[in-house]
Amino acid sequence: MSSVAWQKIEDHSDLCEVSEILFALERALTRERAALQALDMDAMAALTEKKQALCDRLRALADRSEAGTAEVRSEDAAIVKLRGEVRLAALRIRVHAEANAALLEDATAAIGEALGLRQDSGTYDHRARVQSRVRAFCGKRA
């Protein structure tokens, strides 16, 4: 769902569904952080599937709303309030997702370092330090 797609939803029940999906996604990201901290691969895989299913539901709602609406913005107080809640939930999800990505990157680097899998990537960071990466041996998608 694009950052603007949920703003075009005029139907109160659809906005409620977006809100429910976002809160479920936020809970999944919170559980994902705990799974990352524990390096629980089974939980992370299950949560990835759950997050994908939630994102698919959001995309379906966005497609349905974009197909049926123009640039009409409801001034109904309930819808305006719900849009604000959805916006805040989307911002919290962004924070959770970025934190989880950083935690995953750190965990991958630490494991790679411990196993001696780090390789020079041939690039430099913003401070002209040589970057290294962990070579993946499995888990690649086709």
1-14 residue pLDDT tens: 455 565 667 778 88
Domain count, the chain: 1
Domain around 58: 5-134
Identify whether 140 is part of a domain. Answer: no
Read off φ and ψ for residue 122, nearest 5 degrees: 80, 10
The whole-number pLDDT of residue 141 equals 45
**Residue 45 maps to a domain:** yes
Query: Residue 142 domain-assigned?
Result: no
Q: Are 120 and 130 in contact (CB under 8 A)?
A: yes
CA angle 89, 91, 96 (to 5 degrees): 90
In this prediction the pTM is: 0.72
Whether 139 is in a domain gets the answer no
**Are residues 128 and 60 in contact, defined by beta-carbon separation less than 8 angstroms?**
no
The reply to whether 114 falls in a domain is yes
Residues 6+ apart with CB under 8 A from 7: 73, 83
In a domain, 141, yes or no: no
Tell me the pLDDT tens digit for each residue of 53-94: 999 999 998 887 766 555 556 677 888 888 889 999 999 999
